[in-house]
Structures are given as structure tokens and as C-alpha cells.
Amino acid sequence: MSKAFNVSRQNGFTTIAITCFVLLYLPIILLVVYSFNSGTSVAIWEGFSWRWYQSAWQNDQVQEATVRSLIIALWASAISTTCAVLAALATTRTRKFKGQAAVFAMINQPLMVPEIVTAVALLIFFAMIKVATGYTGLAYLIVAHSAFCIPFAYLPIRARLQGMDLSLEQAAADLYATPFKVFRRVTLPQLWPGILAGAMLAFVISLDDVVITEFVKSAGQDTLPTYMLGQLRRVVTPEVNAISTVLFGISVTFVIAFTVLGKIKN
């Protein structure tokens, strides 16, 4: 009797896995280590120092870009999560209908289409609006980030809804509760871990986005990632390493929280 196939038992699997992890995480580890370099080089260690963290903290441009990034990410997370909840309810709490697969594909379009295509499309679309209205504020970035983040919030929320027991909702409906009351009193209390997980994932995606932001933003609207990209084009100092380390720490924290929330049972 042949044994079941197990990829971890194949020759060379361990070596390939270790090599992949080293190639993936070693550059990140080096980035974090050299963010504490006392010298100006990003490749030559000259001693431990908090110099570049202090420099980034006192940099007015970094502060302005950070506040702008947080504002955009918070708004984008709230808007995209709200839309994702409505979309998830519409695709899991209704009878199957023709075109449901197409609706699912449209919701997840940003995941399937290269980001540069979405960025160029938004650039053209918003350019027409800017010419017609003369408005060049942050609303364009918020709308663009919100649209791009919807599928990232939608997937964990939809997965949560699909894993929930329908008997409580059906019982509430049998007791003449309105659909809104069923959602508020029964569905929402069970759904909140998925909503929080989707919101945090959307927040991280918005906070880290470069491509869409670079194409949509107007002059003087740099976010933290685009500010870092601009610095890399001029001169590279460990200050960029320090900012990257902080962003990395924030992302890791949110991903851990996302994982924990995803495991919470009803």
C-alpha cells in the first residue's frame, strides 16, 4: 500500500525551505540592525546608536507624512470595511443568483489586476475630475485607497459569515425580528472579530501602499512610503532604515492581531 504524498518528506524540502526563509528574512533583519548604526552608511557598521530614530522623530517632513498616512489609512480602513460588510452580507445571506460569480470577481478585482493598472486607471479618472472641479485634496487618495482595500477587508469578513451558525439568525427571524434587528442583535456580535480583522488588514495595506499613492497624489501630499521612495532617489541614510523598521513593526503587530482575531470562535 503506497503512502500518502507529503511534500515535507520529499528530498531537499528542508534545504529549500531554509533557503527561502533565509532569503526572505535576512534582508529584513539586516535592515533592522543597520537602523541602529551610528554612522551614515547603510552597509558599514560603526556602532550602536538611536541617532536615526531621533532624526526621523524630529524631521518635520516625516511627521507630516506620517500624520497624512494615518489619516488616509484610518479613513480608507473605515470606508472599505463598511463596504466589505455590506458586500459580504449580500453574497452570503441571500439566495444564489445568476452572476454571483461575476459579482465576487468584481469585488476582488484589485487582487487580480496588477496594481499599476489600477493606479493608471485612477490617475486618468481623477485627473478628469480635478480638471472639472479644481479640487486637489486628500479625498482622491482616500477614495483610491478605500476602493483598493475593499477585497482585503471583504475576504476575512466573508469567511467569518460563512463559518457562522445560521440557526440563531433563523430563530430571531422566526420570532418576527426585522432584518436590521437580526443583524444588530445576532449577526454583528458574532461577526465583530472578522470585521476587526478586515479593518486591520485594510489599514496595513493602505499604510504601506506606494504605487497607487504615487500615481494619485497631488503635489505636497507625500505619505510615509512615498516620502521614503523620494529619499532613496536622493541619498540613502539609516534614517530610511529606521522608518522602515517602525513600519515593519506596525505591520507585524497588525498581522499578529489579525491572526489572533481570525481564530476567535463564535
pLDDT for the residue 240: 85
| pTM recorded for the entire structure | 0.82
pLDDT for the residue 241: 86
Asked whether residue 170 carries a pLDDT value surpassing 60, the answer given is yes
Asked whether residue 120 carries a pLDDT value surpassing 60, the answer given is yes
Cα–Cα distances (Å) from 92 to 12, 88, 95, 202, in that order, read 43, 6, 8, 21
Q: For residue 101, what pLDDT band results from cuts at 50, 70 and 90?
A: confident
Q: For residue 3, what pLDDT band results from cuts at 50, 70 and 90?
A: low
Cα three-residue angle 141-143-149, rounded to 5 degrees: 95
Residue type, 207: L
For the chain, the domains span: 56-263
Asked whether residue 2 carries a pLDDT value surpassing 70, the answer given is no
Dump pLDDT digits (tens) for 225-244. Answer: 888 888 777 777 788 888 88
Asked whether residue 255 carries a pLDDT value surpassing 90, the answer given is no
Cα three-residue angle 235-236-240, rounded to 5 degrees: 125
Asked whether residue 82 carries a pLDDT value surpassing 90, the answer given is yes
What is the average pLDDT score of the chain? 85
Asked whether residue 74 carries a pLDDT value surpassing 90, the answer given is yes
User: Interhelix angle for 60-92 vs 188-208, to 10°?
Assistant: 140
Q: Does domain 56-263 have CATH number 3.40.50.300?
A: no
Asked whether residue 191 carries a pLDDT value surpassing 80, the answer given is yes
Q: For residue 163, what pLDDT band results from cuts at 50, 70 and 90?
A: confident
Cα–Cα distances (Å) from 197 to 35, 88, 185, 193, 265, in that order, read 30, 14, 20, 6, 13
Point out the least confidently predicted range of 109-113, 131-135, 172-176, 238-242: 172-176
Q: Which residue has the higher pLDDT, 232 or 79?
A: 79
